[in-house]
Amino acid sequence: MSITVNVICFRGKKLSNGESPIMIRVCKDRKTKYKSLGISVKEELWDFDKNKPKPNCPNRDYILKIIIDKEAEYQKKILELKAENKDFTASTLITPKIKSRVKSVSEFCKDLIEEFKLSDKIGNAKVYNDLYTSLFKFTKNKLDIPFSHIDVDFLKDYEKWLRQKGCKDTSISLSFRTLRSLYNKAIAAKYAKRTSYPFEEFKVSKFYVKTEKRAVSKDVIKQIMELDLANESGYMNFSRDIFIFSYLCGGINLTDVANLKGSNIINDRLVYIRQKTGKKINIPLSEKAKAIILKYASKELSNKYLFPILNDETHKTEAQRYRRRKKVLRNVNKNLKDISKLIGVDTNITSYVARHSYATILKNSGVNIIQVDNPHQSAMGNSRYVKRLAVREVYPVEEQALVVCLWFTFAFLHRLSGRLVNLWCRFHHRFFGFSSRLNGSRFRNSIGILNDRCIRYHCCSFHFFLFLLCLLHGLFHRYALMHH
């Protein structure tokens, strides 16, 4: 039977970036198998008739090179198997038996960086590239070593070298966390052994340093809103507007602000996918937030960017968009620092302070915030981030105090009523229980019945007061929700 090998754009699957993966397809004996090439492309940039990227596709030459190399690789495999008269299927050709091979730290790290770049994960690529550069300098250009050479002694020497370079604990922590992640990925790819894993003994958590509080009070937020910037530059006003918009929209970060388009506004609500976590965010737009949008957005929102940060004609690739966002972020933070000086605040205000201030002000207002879907599962991450905010209950301070007072009052009255019932029954037993020999037994029975009825009345009063307490608590809870 004939066998065919070609590369296609698999439009039946959508990646998190909205693109479709490019896959190699092998057909033999009416069986078809697919394997991803690790790259993706938008459907409108792919020629499905010719099975190759269109001329206007970014990185077209690079993608074509990968396609040609992969097709040639599989054709070579087929010729070798046929020459040796070996049987094979589409599945065994796509996923051949893995041969044990040692891959150096340098090779694996560089391959991982390329994968991140092809997947448009520019931020991740930069983090691993920084690690590669640091390790390359530390080993004096001798990073062509197996992962088994990275042991506890290696890590201790690397830590000592970083400290001699003047690196702070936060930077050292990032380097070691990235190195640990690299080692874990190497284990998953069978290029490193779990038995040689050095991070069981060498704990990265020791580099944790509690960061300074990055939130400001509600009064500071109001000062920033009301600050007169008429005589300042347009970029200063833009930086203030971005900060206020972020605060009003649940602490949205600048990366997501830059990606916002008119299509993200649905029925006076802001609906978008957070780039960092891939989670869908749906929040209402206040009048102030709408005014900021109308100040910068074009009249025809449709599919245009809401803020003048990105431009489809200028920033075509993810790398270009990444550099642009970083540049704008630096300028915005620089202007926010100047704004903090104008209002006389010592706090170093940045764009991310809006996110922390949003969460902190909610908490200080009596809102219980639940942290869910948090990518920072470590203690260090949880202490700094609130990834998805959900209001559970609203209990103002005044309500809490009133509920406590009502509860103690009720408990005191309940205890007092119990004592009074007991004393009343004892009184009747003493003066009337043995008044006559003839009727004593019957009278004592009647007093017992009366005592039992009093106890029942006492229990009913307990439930009645409990009902009143719950009713009052519910009314105050309703009042608190209406005023938050």
Burial 181-191 (b: 16+ CB within 10 A, else e): ebbebbbeeeb
Judged against a pLDDT cut of 50, whether residue 260 lies above it is answered with: yes
**Highest mean pLDDT out of 264-268, 415-419, 467-471:** 264-268
State how far the Cα of 19 lies from the Cα of 53, in Å rounded to an integer: 13
**What tokens does 350 get?**
């940045």
Residue carrying the six token digits 């965010």: 281
- Give 379 or 228, the one with higher predicted confidence: 228
Poorest-pLDDT segment among 47-56, 201-210, 301-310, 456-465:
456-465
**What tokens does 116 get?**
């991140």
**Highest mean pLDDT out of 212-226, 274-288, 362-376, 455-469:** 274-288
Judged against a pLDDT cut of 50, whether residue 124 lies above it is answered with: yes
The predicted model gives 461-480 an average pLDDT of: 61
State how far the Cα of 354 lies from the Cα of 350, in Å rounded to an integer: 8
User: What's the CA angle centered on 127, arms 121 and 128, to 5 degrees?
Assistant: 90
The predicted model gives 31-43 an average pLDDT of: 86
CA torsion sign for 463, 469, 473, 479 is positive
- Give 156 or 461, the one with higher predicted confidence: 156
Judged against a pLDDT cut of 60, whether residue 241 lies above it is answered with: yes
**What tokens does 168 get?**
């702070």
Q: Fill in the DSSP letter of residue 387.
A: -
**What tokens does 246 get?**
């972020």
User: What's the CA angle centered on 397, arms 392 and 399, to 5 degrees?
Assistant: 80
Poorest-pLDDT segment among 71-85, 159-173, 396-410:
396-410
Q: What is the mean pLDDT of the chain?
A: 78
Does residue 315 contact residue 259 with C-beta atoms inside 8 Å?
A: no
Q: Fill in the DSSP letter of residue 347.
A: S
Coil/strand/helix, residue 169: helix
Percent pLDDT > 90 in the chain is: 25
Cβ atoms < 10 Å from Cβ of 270: 23
Residue 163 phi/psi, 5° resolution?
A: -70, -35
Per-residue pLDDT band at 188 (split at 50, 70, 90) = very high
Q: Which of 256, 336, 335, 241 is nearest to 289 (CA)?
A: 241
Does residue 114 contact residue 132 with C-beta atoms inside 8 Å?
A: no
Rounded to 10 degrees, what is the CA torsion of 413, 418, 424, 428?
170
Judged against a pLDDT cut of 70, whether residue 434 lies above it is answered with: no
Judged against a pLDDT cut of 60, whether residue 86 lies above it is answered with: yes
Per-residue pLDDT band at 177 (split at 50, 70, 90) = very high
Instruction: Classify burial at 416, counting beta carbons within 10 Å of its beta carbon; exposed 0-12, middle 13-18, buried 19 or more.
Output: exposed
Q: Which residues face 261 on adjacent strands? A: 305
The predicted model gives 175-197 an average pLDDT of: 93
The per-residue pLDDT for range 337-375, each reduced to its tens digit, is 999 888 888 888 888 888 888 878 777 665 555 443 333
Judged against a pLDDT cut of 80, whether residue 275 lies above it is answered with: yes
Range 190-197, long-range pairs (CB < 8 A, 24+ positions) = 190/98, 190/100, 191/102, 191/103, 191/108, 191/147, 192/146, 192/147, 192/148, 193/147, 193/148, 196/147, 196/148, 196/151
Poorest-pLDDT segment among 294-298, 320-324, 336-340, 475-479:
475-479
Judged against a pLDDT cut of 60, whether residue 75 lies above it is answered with: yes
Per-residue pLDDT band at 139 (split at 50, 70, 90) = very high
Poorest-pLDDT segment among 69-78, 377-386, 457-466:
377-386
Residue 392 phi/psi, 5° resolution?
A: -100, -55
Residue carrying the six token digits 């190399």: 69
DSSP assignments along 37-65, one per residue: EEEEE-GGGEETTTTEE-TTSTTHHHHHH
Percent pLDDT > 70 in the chain is: 71
pLDDT of 44 reads 87
**What tokens does 379 get?**
């203690």
Per-residue pLDDT band at 81 (split at 50, 70, 90) = confident
pLDDT of 372 reads 35
Poorest-pLDDT segment among 53-62, 178-187, 239-248:
53-62
pLDDT of 45 reads 87
pLDDT of 451 reads 52
pLDDT of 371 reads 42
- CA–CA distance from 306 to each of 265, 295, 301, 413 (Å)? 10, 9, 7, 62
State how far the Cα of 239 lies from the Cα of 221, in Å rounded to an integer: 14
